Structure 1
Amino acid sequence: MSNQIPRLCLQEDAITALVEELCGGAVSAALHFLEKELRRLKEERRQHAFILIALRDKAMREAAEAGRRQKEEHRRREHDEMFKQVLGVTQQTVDAYLLEVVEQGVELAAEEDALRYITIYTYKSGLPNLYAFPCLTVFLS
């Protein structure tokens, strides 16, 4: 029996060493896995931060672009209104000019009709036609 005790101690030591080796390997594998997960998590957080920065920059650019579009639309409406006003003034000027031309035409036609009537009336009446003498028309006006 005395021979068996050292053998049992040796076996127990071998088993303890084997268990410690297995536990050390398991702990080492677990630490290695956790270290890789920590790196992956840090990289994921870094990428997420870049995405948030990119989204914020995009939102700022879109807001600036929307502001520019709004200003451009406002400017376009102002220019359209100015164009309409200029067009209205131009149309009024054209209308006034055409009215004046028509009035002058009517006046000239009336004068010509009146002269023709006077000429015919004086001819039929046997009266002298004073309008036949241009130098006398100054006194008739």
Structure 2
Amino acid sequence: MGIPAVVNGKQVQFDGPEDMPLLWALRDLLGMTGTKFGCGIGQCGACTVHLDGKPVRSCMLPIGEIDGRITTIEGIGETEEGRRIQKAWLALEVVQCGYCQCGQIMAAAALLARNAKPDDSAIDIAMAGNICRCCTYVRIRQAIKEA
């Protein structure tokens, strides 16, 4: 018997142990590879998904503890904030290597859902802990402001 969940608006069953991190359930059980493994300890942000609209680190969330609707990078384009941030990301050519960008986009979309016109301080707080090895932070900030 699987663990029921709603991912990107679709009812799914995770056929894994309750302590399996959501990251691996998404990638290995559902084949959704947009959410990335970075550090495995919830510090880098590459694995960020939304749980009821709030950003969470999927590497730290066991599937047995999920209580809510999950949105991944594959589904964020279905939200208004997600479409706006994706459009700005492309227009400003934010991506360099791209590895962290799914987590960056997820954090930015959650911020814009709460605050349509964030100032630098709000952006800093919302994006804290999302590490970009290519240091595209200036373009990330510009894209959030444009979105």
TM-score (norm 1): 0.13
Question: Would you tell me which structure has more helix in proportion to its own residues?
Answer: 1
Decide which structure has the larger Cα Rg and report it: 1
- TM (normalized to structure 2)? 0.13
Q: Larger relative contact order (C-alpha < 8 A, sep ≥ 6)?
A: 2
| Structure number having the greater strand percentage | 2
